[in-house]
Amino acid sequence: MAVSAKLVKELREETGSGMMDCKKALVATNGDKEAALEWLRKNGLAKAEKKAGRIAAEGVSMIVESDDAKKAVVVEVNSETDFVATNEKFRDYVHTVAEQALDSDADDVDALLAETSKVDPSKTVADYHAGMVSVIGENLKIRRFTRCEEANGFIAGYTHMNGKIAVLVDVESDVVSDEVREMGKNIAMQVAALNPTYTSDAEVPEDYKEHEKEILTEQVKNDPKMAGKPDKIIAGAVMGRLKKELKEICLLDQVYVKAEDGKQSVSQYVASVAKAQGAKIAIKGFVRYETGAGLEKKNEDFAAEVAAQLGQ
């Protein structure tokens, strides 16, 4: 069947595969992009996961925590331009949104917007927000927020690139020393840098593992080096590749980025700090915000806009 150049381009951008490979995959799957992605993976021509959509929207992700660090919130507020995203007035506003969310019982943005504003009790959060849109002069959007609480330890936070990435890590510990807090921050930096999907292997759904086994089995069978190998050898190779993949997406199994030997895992790093501090420490979970992730930005042509305004 004929495959459009647009579809080939989209698949190529999502997978990083060659143009001809993408065209071949689409022809083989009758133009079904998702099926074509599977085809590419089974033939070892695409990465294990589609690349995330380009980060396009502007704005900031910000963290606010309680004085004892047992409770924290991360919030993302989007703006139209990066110029506004770095504006002090906008950032002050995002901080007020985060403070509202920290003390709120709201489970989602709509419920938060319906609350009485802490800044101006005569207005709802939605009304106050509308006022800030007028003041700042751009469309602003409170996109999302997540609260974390840990009664038996603390919440460690880390913000990267002035709010492009923000991370909260739930640390359960019976000792909360400067060294343990530093460990929490290091783990948050790990999450910011390597973007794990799960905290540990135990969180990975079984259906995900089974699906990956199917993909990896096809990859191994299509590997010329494995031609003629018995099923037992193929199964072992599949499990080896799956284990390697899980180490990349599970935080505690990842190689700790600051390890001097380049081999120490995150779980081993946590254990070493726990031993040194005489503490019982567990990393219970994390939240990672990347500002604008999954949002599509307007494609603006500044020169064309100026020309239009001049009537050219």
Tally of CB atoms within 10 A around 118: 15
In percent, the amount of the chain with pLDDT more than 90 equals 66
Question: Which pLDDT does position 18 carry in this prediction?
Answer: 74
**Domain pair 1-51 / 58-198+285-290, same fold:** no
Which residues lie across from 60 on neighbouring strands? 77
DSSP string over 142-163: EEEEEEEE-TTEEEEEEEEGGG
Question: Which pLDDT does position 52 carry in this prediction?
Answer: 32
* pLDDT of residue 292 exceeding 50: yes
What does the alpha-carbon distance between residue 286 and residue 90 come to, in Å, rounded to a whole number?
A: 26
pLDDT band at 310 (very low <50, low <70, confident <90, very high): low
DSSP helix/strand/coil, 53 = coil
pLDDT band at 21 (very low <50, low <70, confident <90, very high): confident
Please state which architecture CATH assigns to domain 1-51. Orthogonal Bundle (1.10)
Could you tell me the pTM of the whole model? 0.78
pLDDT band at 54 (very low <50, low <70, confident <90, very high): very low
* pLDDT of residue 67 exceeding 70: yes
Rg of the chain (C-alpha set) = 24
* pLDDT of residue 256 exceeding 70: yes
- Residue of 32 and 54 predicted with greater confidence: 32
Question: Which pLDDT does position 260 carry in this prediction?
Answer: 87
Question: Which pLDDT does position 276 carry in this prediction?
Answer: 98
Residues 252-260 have a mean pLDDT of 95
251 contacts: CB under 8 Å, gap ≥ 6: 187, 190, 191, 196, 198, 199, 200, 266, 283, 286
DSSP helix/strand/coil, 64 = strand
Which residues lie across from 283 on neighbouring strands? 171
CA distances from 107 to 30, 49, 93, 96, 273 (A): 43, 30, 20, 17, 35
- Residue of 122 and 43 predicted with greater confidence: 122
- Residue of 198 and 297 predicted with greater confidence: 198
Ranges of each domain in the chain? 1-51, 58-198+285-290
Closest of 188, 154, 167 to residue 66, by C-alpha: 154
Q: What is the pLDDT of residues 108-123, one digit of tens each?
A: 999 999 999 999 999 9
Q: Evaluate the CA torsion angle 175, 160, 246, 284 in order and state its sign.
A: positive
What does the alpha-carbon distance between residue 176 and residue 236 come to, in Å, rounded to a whole number?
A: 43
Q: What is the pLDDT of residues 120-173, one digit of tens each?
A: 999 999 999 988 887 888 888 999 999 999 999 999 999 999 999 999 999 999
- Residue of 312 and 181 predicted with greater confidence: 181
Residues 255-266 have a mean pLDDT of 93
CA distances from 249 to 186, 197, 203, 283, 297 (A): 17, 5, 11, 15, 28
Residues 44-48 have a mean pLDDT of 56
What does the alpha-carbon distance between residue 97 and residue 31 come to, in Å, rounded to a whole number?
A: 45
Mean pLDDT across the chain: 89
Say which CATH topology domain 58-198+285-290 has: Tetrahydropterin Synthase; Chain A (3.30.479)
